[in-house]
Chain A
Amino acid sequence: MKRLRIGIAGAGGQGRKHLLNCLRLKNAEAVAVADRSKTRLSRISRLGINTYQDYHEMITKEKPDAVIVALPNHLHEDCSVISSENGCDLLMEKPLARNTEESKRIADHIRRKGVRLMVGMCHRFITSCRKLKEEIDQGTLGRIDFASALYFTGPFTSGKGVPEWVFDPIKMGGGALLDSGCHIIDLFLWYFGDVRSVTGHTESLFDLGYDDYAEVFMRFKNGVNGLAVVSFRSRTPSYRIEVAGEYRRRIALSKKFGILDFGLGRGLRSFVWENISQRVRGRPFIPLGDDIFYRELDYFVRSILNDEDPKPDAEDWLKVSEVIDRVYKK
């Protein structure tokens, strides 16, 4: 079986998830990890994976087939350039870049170098969101007039340590709208197509130089009106998408933000994964919860190995970024 050799740039929260999922996938192999933290690297090196403190060095020396970019937002462009110059396909964590101009530069570079790029819009892999997409496409909800989304989470929600770059508005490039809102906007664009008009407003209670609360109202060309509300302020995470059709109303909730992911369920799931599933079935499965990152990586790896273009790509992201920029400019 052909295995995709993967290099991971960044071993923070997201990088770790991708690393663990690489270890679980049979058709992928984590060949190297780059991170500034020596402690993290020493732990990762115990797994027999090459480690680097500089992602440039990792990419040029290891020449992996694909690179997962899980770096702070301001480093995305640099990493995508160096990766594509070395012929590596890319799975880039959202946001692809801090603004539309930067995103366009990345998209142009990727196109010129002829490598594939997938943006990690993981909400497309939430089971209930995928089911909703199927229902919308099949027309079982009837004519859709209105969709709303409430997504309250962010770096300050969990109470765990927050990386320093998150407090820097230049490195972040945006707040709740860019970081959380991009998921909802991407889902709405995936569901309903292109937007006709966008309005919205942002607020900053935390005074960090970027928004920690945002509302976006989108009118789509197919007649759907969509409202998305995102916030970094909430102490408890909330996730709810509601689509009201002429015939039916559907609500998508993510288990990722329920007890299964934050409490014992997360541990239980890992336990089943590591200790039973691998031995009994010989391959990992998802018994509890909704591991969207595993599915996302699995899809990316299969797409690259089958020589297909994974979605959402840079062009899809540009549409999301344009909506975000329009709200920020207002």
Chain B
Amino acid sequence: MDNKSKQIVGLVDSSRHDTLTGAVKQVLELIHFDFKKDFKKIAIKLNLCNYWTSSSGETTDPRLVEAIIDVFRMNGSPDEIYLVESDATAMRTKHSFKMLGYEKLAKRKNAKLINLCADTLLPIESNTANLLLQQIKIPETLTKADLFISVPKLKLHPLTGLTCALKNQFGCIPIKRKIVFHKSLNKAIALINKLVTPDLVLVDGIISKGKTPKRLNLIMAGYDPVAVDSIAAKIAGLNPKRIKHIVESKNMGVGSTNVECVGDDWVQFANNFPHRGFLYSISRKYLMQLYGLYLRLLTLEGKIFGLQPAVGA
């Protein structure tokens, strides 16, 4: 994109607007989004990790997606809008689209729901011997879209620390059992971001999940997922330099952590964020890993059925 200014991240308090459409419009104006460009095919990547509604702070709010579609329809004439997500280890999109209100939204807004796992998959043209990379294929919908918007939920994650723009791209890997990548999750996140970088990130921080879900009324926008994630990490009370997938992505050249914030101050959202306690934050990840190991190796159930602890995305 011509107007790509990778360092700009816009933040808007949606409660100061009558509608979410107004908030989305303002945040896009803040980052100088160029509506003059003709986007015929727009792909919107949702963040649906499970069958929990957006009030849990875990999945993208369909009202925000509706507002995004409205803004792009008001400022252009896209022929096709795709709402995309792939199946996950514990979630099938055909059910989550229906249960979380996306089926109705797609009907209302004339958008198409795409399960990336069922999409045509294109192999990566690469000479690299990277085993991870060899397993990943790219869904065709993402490559043919003129504009690829990622709409992640801002939330904490037990394994990566943070879920936002970079982690949401992990859902572009068209494999159901993505749990196989959990051993090298940070690397996988960085790789998929290198392969499929969103053109625009619009973060759903209306309700965010930290220790508990909490209404933040935050909508954040940016072009650079690394920049967006570094601000998201600060809001969540984390040091972006210690979030491995942010560091890996930065090192791979996905983006920059040199950010200029515009709009509302991120500190006001950080003060409102439901932070986890210090001990919890540092122990959670290791406890989960130990518990998984323990389940598999020591319990009878684990020995027979190879149990794994459930981890939200």
Q: A206-B99, A208-B99 are in contact. Are A271 and B299 (CB under 8 A)?
A: yes
Contact between chains at B301 and A270 (CB < 8 Å) = yes
Contact between chains at B52 and A43 (CB < 8 Å) = no
By beta carbon, the residue of chain B nearest A47 is B304
Instruction: Indicate the member of A23, A159, A162, A206 with the most B CB atoms within 10 Å.
Output: A159
Q: A20-B304, A159-B50, A208-B95 are in contact. List 16 more A-B contacts (CB 8 A).
A: A16-B305, A20-B301, A47-B304, A156-B52, A156-B99, A159-B310, A160-B90, A162-B95, A205-B53, A206-B51, A206-B98, A206-B99, A235-B58, A271-B299, A274-B298, A274-B299
Contact between chains at A23 and B312 (CB < 8 Å) = no
Q: Is A190 an interface residue (CB 8 A)?
A: no
Complex Cα gap A324–B228 (Å): 50
What are some 10 contacts across the A-B interface (CB < 8 A)? Answer: A43-B306, A46-B304, A156-B52, A156-B99, A160-B310, A161-B89, A162-B90, A208-B95, A235-B52, A271-B299
A224 to chain B, nearest CB (A): 35
Contact between chains at B304 and A267 (CB < 8 Å) = no
B53 to chain A, nearest CB (A): 8
Contact between chains at B304 and A270 (CB < 8 Å) = no
Residues of chain B with a CB closer than 8 A to A160's CB: 90, 310
Contact between chains at B301 and A16 (CB < 8 Å) = yes
By beta carbon, the residue of chain B nearest A233 is B53
Contact between chains at A40 and B50 (CB < 8 Å) = no
Q: A40-B305, A159-B50, A162-B90 are in contact. Are A267 and B310 (CB under 8 A)?
A: no
Within B102-159, the residues touching A (CB, 8 Å) are: 103-104
Q: Is B268 an interface residue (CB 8 A)?
A: no
A243 to chain B, nearest CB (A): 31
Within A257-315, the residues touching B (CB, 8 Å) are: 264, 267, 270-271, 273-275
Complex Cα gap A164–B53 (Å): 19
A35-49 CB contact bits vs B (8 Å, 1 = yes)?
A: 000001001101100
By beta carbon, the residue of chain B nearest A161 is B90
By beta carbon, the residue of chain A nearest B209 is A235
A123 to chain B, nearest CB (A): 22
Q: Is B300 an interface residue (CB 8 A)?
A: yes
A193-212 CB contact bits vs B (8 Å, 1 = yes)?
A: 00000000000011110000
A residues whose Cβ falls under 8 Å from a Cβ of B: 16, 20, 23, 40, 43-44, 46-47, 156, 158-162, 164, 167, 205-208, 233, 235, 264, 267, 270-271, 273-275
Q: Is B5 an interface residue (CB 8 A)?
A: no
Residues of chain A with a CB closer than 8 A to B305's CB: 16, 40, 43
Q: A156-B52, A159-B50 are in contact. Are A267 and B299 (CB under 8 A)?
A: yes
Residues of chain A with a CB closer than 8 A to B92's CB: 164
Q: Is B295 an interface residue (CB 8 A)?
A: yes
Q: Is B271 an interface residue (CB 8 A)?
A: no
Q: A156-B50, A206-B51 are in contact. Are A43 and B99 (CB under 8 A)?
A: no
Q: A156-B51, A159-B90, A235-B56 are in contact. Are A274 and B99 (CB under 8 A)?
A: no
Complex Cα gap A207–B96 (Å): 11
Q: Is B294 an interface residue (CB 8 A)?
A: yes
Interface size class on chain B is 20 to 34
Residues of chain B with a CB closer than 8 A to A206's CB: 51, 98-99
Within B15-51, the residues touching A (CB, 8 Å) are: 50-51
Contact between chains at B300 and A270 (CB < 8 Å) = yes
Within B254-299, the residues touching A (CB, 8 Å) are: 291, 294-295, 298-299
Complex Cα gap A207–B310 (Å): 25
Interchain residue pairs A-B with the least CB separation, the first 5: A270-B299, A156-B51, A206-B99, A161-B90, A159-B310
Contact between chains at B291 and A267 (CB < 8 Å) = yes
B292 to chain A, nearest CB (A): 10
Partner of A267, one of B50, B95, B103, B298: B298
B283 to chain A, nearest CB (A): 12
Complex Cα gap A235–B295 (Å): 23
B57-94 CB contact bits vs A (8 Å, 1 = yes)?
A: 01000000000000000000000000000000111100
B48 to chain A, nearest CB (A): 12
Contact between chains at B291 and A264 (CB < 8 Å) = yes
By beta carbon, the residue of chain A nearest B287 is A264
Complex Cα gap A40–B301 (Å): 12
Contact between chains at B300 and A267 (CB < 8 Å) = no
Partner of B304, one of A43, A158, A167, A271: A43
Complex Cα gap A69–B31 (Å): 59
Instruction: Indicate the member of A158, A164, A270 with the most B CB atoms within 10 Å.
Output: A270
By beta carbon, the residue of chain A nearest B95 is A167
Residues of chain B with a CB closer than 8 A to A20's CB: 300-301, 304
Complex Cα gap A205–B294 (Å): 37
